[in-house]
Amino acid sequence: MIKLENVSYTYMSGGPFEKKALDGVSLHINEGEFIGVIGHTGSGKSTMIQLLNGLLKPESGKVIIDGQDLSEKKVNIRDIRFKVGLCMQYPEYQLFEETVLKDICFGPLNMGLSQKEAEERAKFAANMTGLPEELLDKSPFDLSGGQKRRAAIAGILAMEPKVLILDEPTAGLDPAGRDEILFKIRDMHKRMKLTVLLVSHSMEDVAKLADRILVLNGGRVEMFGRPREVFAQSARLREIGLNVPQITMAADRLRAAGVDIPEGIYTVGDCYRILLPMLT
Partner 1 sequence: MDNIAEVRNLVFEYKDEETGASARVLDGVSLDVRRGEFLAVLGRNGSGKSTLAKHLNAILTPTSGKVTVDGFDTSDDSKLFDIRRRVGMVFQNPDNQMVATIVEEDVAFAPENLGVPREEIRRRVDEALEIVGMSAFKRHAPHMLSGGQKQRVAIAGALAMRPELLVMDEPTAMLDPSGRAEVIETVKKLNRENGMSVVLITHYMDEAVRADRVIVLDRGRIALEGTPKEVFPQVEKLTALGLDVPQAAYLIYMLNKHGLGLDASALNDEECAAELLRALESRRKGAGEP
Contact characters 204-233, partner 1, x per CB under 8 A = x-----------------------------
Phi, psi of 148 (to 5 degrees): -60, -40
**DSSP secondary structure letters along 29-84:** E-TT-EEEEE--TTSSHHHHHHHHTTSS--SEEEEEETTEETTSTT--HHHHHHHE
Q: Closest Cα to residue 27, out of 64, 56, 54, 58?
A: 64
Min CB(134)–partner 1 separation in Å: 15
Contact residue for partner 1 among 14, 67, 175, 235 (CB under 8 A): 175
Dist. CA 138–CA 116, nearest whole Å: 19
The amino acid that residue 181 corresponds to is I
The residue range among 12-20, 95-103, 219-227, 249-257 that interacts with partner 1, by the rule CB under 8 A, is 249-257
Our CB check for partner 1 shows the closer of 235 and 257 to be 257
Contact flag: residue 257 with partner 1 (CB under 8 A): yes
The answer to whether residue 6 forms part of the interface with partner 1 (CB under 8 A) is no
Q: If binding is defined by CB under 8 A, does position 201 make contact with partner 1? A: yes
The answer to whether 221 touches 27, Cβ cutoff 8 Å, is yes
Residues forming the site for partner 1 (CB under 8 A)? 40-41, 144-146, 171-177, 201, 204, 241-243, 245-247, 249-250, 252-254, 257, 259, 268, 271-272, 275-276, 278-280
